[in-house]
Structure formats: C-alpha cells, structure tokens
Amino acid sequence: MSRKIHVEILDDAEAVGREAAARILAVVERKPEAVLGLATGSTPIPAYRELVKLAHERKVSFAGVKTFNLDEYLGLSGGHPQSYRQYMNKYLFAHLDIPLWQTALPDGAASDPEAECAAFEARIHAAGGVDLWLLGIGSNGHIGFNEPGAPRDCRTRVASLAPSTIEASAKDFGGAAGVPRQALTAGVATILEAREILLLATGAGKAPAVAAALEGPITPQLPASYLQAHPSCAFMLDRAAASKLVKP
C-alpha cells in the first residue's frame, strides 16, 4: 500500500525546526487570519525559535492569527511555571504580535473541566476549524495526551497520562511523583479535523513510534497511526527519528 502521509527526512533537529517554521509561516502569509493548532514539549522549540526569527525578518504579522494548543495539565493554572500556557508564552507568543486573547489552551484550573473541554471544542468550531495543526509524538505513539487505547472518535476531554508519559515529564516536575496524572487534551477526532497536520519528531527515542505510526496498522494502541487516514498530513523527521523506517 502506498503511503499517504508525506515524509520529509532532514539532517537534524535544527533543520526540522527550520523547515517546520517555513511551513507554518507560509500558512500565515497565505492566510493572515489563519487558525493554528500548536503543541508543546521539547520537539517544537527549534521550530518556534525559527518561526519568531522568520516572522521578524519577513515582517509577517500574526495579529490576525488564532491558535489552539493541544493540551494542558489538569490542576495547573496558566500562571503555574510548568503549565503549557507559560511554555507557549515563553517560546512563542511573547515574541509575536499575536494578542494573547487569540491564543487558546484548555484551562487546567477550570472549576468544571468537562465544561471547559466542551467550550474549547466550541471555540475551535467558532474560529472556523484549524488550518494547520502542529504535533509531536510520544515514544508510546501518543498525540496530544491521547495515550494508547484512545478511540478514533474521542474529542477534547480529561485523559489520564500513561506511565511512560509521566516518566518523560518527570524532569519538569522534580521527579515523577510531582507530575499531574491527568490532562485536558484535544481528542483524536478534534485533531483529525484540522485541514492540514504537521508532525515533528526528532531523536532516536522516537524512531520506533514513528515507524509504527507510518508503517504499522491503524490501531488505537498507537494513536499517531490514526494520522494515516488524514488527507493532508506530513511528518518532518530528523535522521535519528527516521532510522527505523523500512521504507524511508
């Protein structure tokens, strides 16, 4: 079966960052009121750094752009230093001319998390849907906090973190014991509704998940494999993350 996901293999994480930033900027140049879906984590940091640089060099305004982030830890307010809101402000929003009120993350401290998830979905819908959603991938194949077992039709909700995800986040919380056990996350169906998807993966630790997502069966056991059914999805990989592909 021919692969529907477009795969681009680049030398290293910096090159992935440069290419990804160019792709994102092209969306905003084409459509100044673009709706972007965004991710946190270590993978997109070079892309955000490069995006800021490019936007300044080419004088591209983000004043009309709206953004939606994948997820936020349950229980963390946007003021918490480990919140994804703080991450986004630090790495991206503070350096662009985008008004903060046009940037949305689920509120981890909402008094009614279920209602917050529904409101997040409604806000995406009201914005006209997401033009491009930038994703990372967990070493267990998760996208957002849609961990193994997440069904294809799940939407924004409170989800439990897999043990390997808790382990991966331990460094940010002074040990695994401090990591929140749950998060508000855009669902698989929410992500798949984006008109375009761009998944970034760097480093050898992601190679097995990347190979399974691209070359394995579509299965809830590896949520990134759902992307195979998306009409416009690309993976940008460095050589290490692509190293387990049978057909690079």
Residue placing its CB nearer to ligand F6R in the complex, 60 or 243: 243
Is 141 one of the binding residues for ligand F6R (CB under 6 A)?
A: no
Which of 18, 23, 66, 142 is the binder for ligand F6R (CB under 6 A)?
142
Is 138 one of the binding residues for ligand F6R (CB under 6 A)?
A: yes
How many other C-beta atoms are found inside a 10 Å radius of the C-beta of residue 247?
Answer: 9
Residue placing its CB nearer to ligand F6R in the complex, 65 or 141: 141
Q: Which of 50, 69, 142, 230 is catalytic?
A: 142
Q: Which residue lies nearest ligand F6R, judged by its C-beta?
A: 136
| 71 noted as active-site residue | yes
Cα–Cα distance for residue pair 123/104, rounded to 1 Å? 9
Taking residues 42 to 81 in sequence order and writing x for each that binds ligand F6R by CB under 6 A, - otherwise, the string is xx--------------------------xx----------
How far apart are CB 137 and ligand F6R at their closest, in Å? 6
Would you tell me which residues interact with ligand F6R (CB under 6 A)? 39-43, 70-71, 136-138, 142-145
